Chains A and B, each alone.
Chain A
Amino acid sequence: MTGHEELLDQLYGAVLSGEVNRAVEVTQEGLGSDIEPTVLLFDAMIPALEEIGRRFETGEVFLPEMLIVANAMQGAMTILRPLIVAAGVETIGRFVMGTVAGDIHDVGKNLCNVMLEGAGFEVIDLGINVPAQAFVDAIREMEPDVVGMSAFLTTTALEFARNIKLIEEAGLRDRVKILIGGAPVDQALVDSVGADGFAPDASSAVRITKTVMGA
C-alpha cells in the first residue's frame, strides 16, 4: 500500500467510525502529502458514507452510528469544501434545504445534507423555521435544481402546501424540483401538496434526488 492509499484508508476508517478529530487530522495530512481534495472526498469519504448508508438500510446500524459518520464527514468537509469550490469542481446539482416555518426538527434534514453533499451536490441549508418567502427568495437568487423541505409534525406539514403554492404564485414552480421529508410524509402527502417526491430517510435522499432530476 502506498502512502496515499494508506492515508485514504485511514480517512475512510475515521469517517466510518465517526472519529471527527481523526478525520480532520488525516484530511490535513492527506492535503499535506499532495492528495487532491477531490480524491480525499471521492476515494475515502464518500465510500465511507455509502457504506454507512448501506448498513443503515439493512438495519445493521441505527441513527447514532449514522449521526457520528455525518459529523465526521462535516468536520472534514469544512476543510475540503473551500478547496473543492476554489478548484472549480463541477457539482451534480444545487440543492436548497430547509425545515419549514413553525418547526425546528433538523436531525433528518442535517443527515440528508451530508449525504447529498457527499454525493456531489452543492447544498445550501436555510436552517430551521424557514418562512415560505425565504424558500421563494432562495429559488430566485440561488437557482437550485432541487428544493428540499422538512417537517416533523403533521401540523407543520401543512406548510408544504403553503410553500409550494407561494412558489407557484411567484412563477418559479417549473424551475425547480421539490422534495419533502419528515415523519408525516408519504406518497399521499406528496401528491396532495404537489411535490415531486419524498425521501423516507437520509440514505435514500440521494437516489430520489437524482431520480427527480433525471440525472
Chain B
Amino acid sequence: MAMTPRERVLAAANHEEPDRVPIVLGVSNATGIKMKPYRDLKQLLGIEAPDDYLYRWPELGTAAPDEETLVRLGTDVRGVCDVEPASVLEANASRQPHADYINSWGSGATEIKRGEWFPMVCPMKSATTIAEIEDYPWPDMDDPTRVAHVAEDAAALADEGRHAIMATPWLLFPLERAFAMQGMDTFLMNLALHPDFAEALLWKIQERCKVLMGHFLAALGDHVDIIKIGDDLGTQESLLMSPDMYRGILKPIHADYIAFIRERTAAKVFFHTDGDVFPLIDDLLEIGVDILNPIQTSAGKMANLAELKARWGDRLTFCGGIDTHRILPTGTPAEVRAEVRRVIEILGPGGGYMVSSVHTVMNDVPAENILAMVDAVQEYGTYPIGRGSPA
C-alpha cells in the first residue's frame, strides 16, 4: 500500500521497509541544489516559479526549490531553516555590491568571481589564547528574528501532514564554525599546537550553538521529524584528525550537543560529515546519531557500501550515496540510473536508506541527471528491492 512521504521516511529511519526508498533532496544545504541546476531543472520541466534561496542567503547560492519542483523530484521531506538576525540580513542587503558578506558571528564570504562566494573572512585568524575567546563579541542567539518564522512554517507543514519535516539551523556545527572563525588550516594547527585553546573555542562555539538550537527546537515543538547537525570529519583518503584527537576533544562536544537535542525533541538526529569517516562510525552511533550523511562513496572506505550496511545497517540509517564527483556531473542519465540502482540494492534492503546526492547538487550537474536520479528511485527503489525492471 502506498505510504505518505512522511510515513516512508519514518519507516526507513526506523529500519523498516517502506513502500519505496525515500528521497531527500532540495532541503538543507548538504542535501540541496545550487541555483544554476535548479534553474535548469525548472526550465527543463517547464516550471515557472521565482528563484528563492535557502536561509534567505543569496551568497550561499543554494536554492529553496518551489513546491511544484519538489513534487516532481518526489522528495519526501520539507525543510525548515533559521535565518540570520533581521539586522544582519538588512545590513547585507544594503551593503555595497560585491563587498564581503559578513554574518552575525563576524565571519563571512568574499566574492572571488561574479556570483561565487567563498568563506574567507575569518575574524579570529590570529587568536591562540583563552582571553581572546573571552573578549570576542559573540553573536546574540536570543535575537527573536532568527526563528520568528519557524513555528509557523513547521506548523503549516505539520498541518498538511504529508511530508517529513527536516529542520536545519545554519551551521550549528562546532568544528565547521571554528574553521569559519579561524580558517581551516589555522584551526587544525591550533588543535595540534594549542589544544587547550582549540578545545575552549569549540566549547564556546557550542555554547552559542546550543542557545540558538534551544530556541529553534522550542519554536518547532513537535513539528519536526529530523534535526540536521554535523561536522566534516573526513578527507578523500581518511580522517581530518586522528581518532584519538576526535575522541579526546571533539567527541565529548558532539555527545553533549546531541544529548541537549535529545532532551528537547524526539526527532531523529541526522549527522552530516563529509569524506571517509569509516573509523568513527561506532563513535557517532554511540553518541546518538540516527542518520549518517552523505556517505561519500568517492572517499576511501566509504566506497564499501556492503560493509557499511553489514556492520551498521541495523542501527544506522544512511542518507546520500549518489556520487557528486563523477556520476552526477559527468555521467550519462543511464549511468546515473545504474548507480542509483546499485546503491539502492546494497543499502536499501530492510529500510535504513534514503537517497540523496553526496552533498549539494553543484553547478556542473545537468538537470537531466537530477531527474535520472530521482526517477531511478521510483523505478528501482520499490520494496522489495531487486524487483525493478532491468536497466
Per-residue CB contact flags for chain A residues 180-208 toward chain B (1 = under 8 Å, else 0) read 00011000100000000000110000000
B240 contacts which chain A residues (CB < 8 A)? 62-63
- Number of A interface residues at 8 Å Cβ cutoff, please give it: 28
CB-CB under 8 A for A62 and B112, given A67-B189, A184-B325:
no
CB-CB under 8 A for A154 and B242, given A18-B192, A63-B235, A67-B189:
no
A128 to B329, CA, bound (A): 24
The reply to whether A154 and B235 contact each other, CB–CB distance below 8 Å, is no
The reply to whether A154 and B325 contact each other, CB–CB distance below 8 Å, is yes
Which residues of B in the span 169-224 have a Cβ within 8 Å of any Cβ on A? 184-185, 188-189, 191-193
The reply to whether A67 and B362 contact each other, CB–CB distance below 8 Å, is no
Summed over the interface, the residue pairs from A and B with CB atoms below 8 Å come to a total of 67
A110 to B184, CA, bound (A): 13
- Number of B interface residues at 8 Å Cβ cutoff, please give it: 29
A43 contacts which chain B residues (CB < 8 A)? none
The reply to whether A64 and B188 contact each other, CB–CB distance below 8 Å, is yes
Which residue of B120, B188, B325 is within 8 Å of A67 (Cβ)?
A: B188
Interface status of B150 (Cβ within 8 A of chain A): no
The reply to whether B118 and A104 contact each other, CB–CB distance below 8 Å, is yes
A158 to B363, CA, bound (A): 11
Which residue of A19, A101, A102, A183 is within 8 Å of B236 (Cβ)?
A: A183
The reply to whether A65 and B192 contact each other, CB–CB distance below 8 Å, is yes
B120 contacts which chain A residues (CB < 8 A)? 104
Per-residue CB contact flags for chain B residues 218-244 toward chain A (1 = under 8 Å, else 0) read 000000000000000001111111100
The reply to whether A62 and B364 contact each other, CB–CB distance below 8 Å, is no
Interface status of A213 (Cβ within 8 A of chain B): no
Taking the closest CB of chain B, its distance from the CB of A81, in whole angstroms, is 21
Interface status of B95 (Cβ within 8 A of chain A): no
Interface status of A2 (Cβ within 8 A of chain B): no
The reply to whether B242 and A102 contact each other, CB–CB distance below 8 Å, is no
**Nearest neighbor of B187 in chain A, beta-carbon distance:** A64
Which residues of A in the span 139-183 have a Cβ within 8 Å of any Cβ on B? 153-155, 158, 183
A188 contacts which chain B residues (CB < 8 A)? 326
**Nearest neighbor of A192 in chain B, beta-carbon distance:** B330
B188 contacts which chain A residues (CB < 8 A)? 63-64, 67, 107
Task: Give the top 3 A-B pairs by smallest Cβ distance, nearest first.
Answer: A64-B192, A64-B188, A104-B118
A sample of 12 cross-chain residue pairs with beta-carbon separation below 8 angstroms, ordered by A number, consists of: A18-B189, A18-B192, A62-B238, A62-B239, A62-B245, A64-B188, A64-B189, A65-B242, A67-B192, A71-B189, A183-B236, A200-B236
